[in-house]
Structure 1
Amino acid sequence: MTAPAQRGSQPGERVRTFAPDFLTELFRNPLEPGYADAAARRAEAGPQTGWRGTAPQVATALVLALVGFLLIVAYRQTVAEAPSRSQARSGLVTQIKQRETLTDRLQERADGLRVEVGQKRDAALTDTDAARLRDLEASTGFSRVRGDGIVVRVADAPTAVDPVTGKGQADDLGRVLDRDLQDIANGLWSAGAEAIAINGQRLTATSTIRAAGRAILVDFRPVTGPYEVSAIGPDQMERRFKDTPAARLLRQVSADHGMSYAVRSAGNLSLPAAGEPQLRYARPSPPPVPTPSGSGPSTSPPAPTGAEASSSPSGGGR
């Protein structure tokens, strides 16, 4: 900022004079002039006495006391509700474990009944038909199979500890997702796998791999890490799988974010049979109702009643 130019000593000569800029003035006089005036008036009048001097201190003390009281009330309420929340959580955990135990027991019973039915069926069929049926069950995933293959093992990246707070910091980029298991299964199918299981859950043509929160469900049954995808197939399956886009992506994620990823060959793998399929069928719609004479033919057939579309869950292993 410049001041207006002033005339010099000689006619026609102009001399420019410059005032200090804003930053220089700010550093020279950093205090607002109003504060200096208020301090000067307070020095002349002396300290305030009576209610004017004590009122700010009393108000500050009351505000601090009120804030402290609210914090104490909130803390006591939180502590009082903690046992009920812990009890409810433990009750839910107990129910989940009981239901899982009951489910496993029923699954074992179903497997035993399936073996018994298979034995009686084989006894009723000829040797050729029984062998053909066993081959079809093995290829579709509804019978136990055994053979050589590979195992793909993936696990979440280790939890990093914050040096300041001491708490663990989960890296979601290094966490195994349902999409990763889908890619692994699809890569194994494309590499020539004949049978695949994820943590003991056999995959079929209608299997689903989904996420529910941070849990992964295979055919609506939860699986926990580390995840092992076992596959039975030809000798070249391991080499073919390592060249798939899924394997390349997992190697990159493992190098960048610490996800555990390993592929190894395994001999004499045993994969269990899958559960009974929940197949759905479509029913034909009824024929159109004839219209009375003179009213013309019906242009739109009636809506089908009781028809159920045939579909299978999307996003499965194949």
Structure 2
Amino acid sequence: MPDSRTTTADRVSTPLLTLITQQSLDEDYRHVAERRAEQGSTPTGRRRLGTATVVVAVFGLLVTVAAVQNSQRAGVQSASRASLIANIDRGRADLAALQERIVDLRELDVSLQDNLDDVTAAAQGAQARVQRLGAVTGFGAVTGPGVRVTVDDGDHFTVRDRDLRPLVDGLWNAGAEAISINGQRLTARTPIRNSGAAIHVNFRPLSPPYVVLAIGDPRTLQADLMETTSGLTFRDTAAQLGFPWNMDNVDRLSLPAAPQRLIQLDWAVEGTAKENLVKRRKDTPP
């Protein structure tokens, strides 16, 4: 039997937590031994086998459940990855299609811009041609330097259409580009004639004084007018009949367009005047 003094010393030197644990375990083992002694038997091998079987079954169930969960998770992950890859492929295909569309639209834009430039240039050229034709034919308003001729009735004679015609013809022959009488623009279809006592231009009656405006080179237009047969005829007529007239240069004249109703043609053929003349000569029998 151990020495009580030694045991007491050991207990005194043993840490309190260790002592409590040992005491508790010793008492638990003693109670279990006493209970088994009272029952008169010990655990059999069959009981141990059953316990082991249950433990193994539970462990197998846990392993199976874990395997099933891992398999399902793997399937979901695989499906998600495949779906993501498919979405990426579709996105790339859509992006490539859009990029091709952008290239096509850019090429179309360049082509349309070229066409627009061509149409704009053609429209500007046509507008310039219309303006030139309007100035030449009299159906477009024009401005520029020129001369102004004022003719009035005399004391004993009034100015007639036959008195103004030589003046107009002389100005055309002297190089005038556009002519108007009292605001009425002259064209190839403009009649100058008397209807009663009044002179009519473009079928509009005029009253004296008659102001004739002619756009041209003011440095030469007056002198050139007096060198034409028509200009000399007008000068001599004015001197004989005694109606006053004067001519001066003007830095800027503004002539209106002729009435649009004069543009309407009663008879016209396709082609230029030269082409039609050649055609008529060919069609005329010898």
TM-score by length of 1: 0.43
TM-score by length of 2: 0.48
Q: Looking at CA atoms only, which structure, 1 or 2, has the larger radius of gyration? A: 2
Kindly indicate which of the two structures has a greater share of residues assigned to helix. 2
Higher relative contact order (CA 8 A, sep 6+): 2
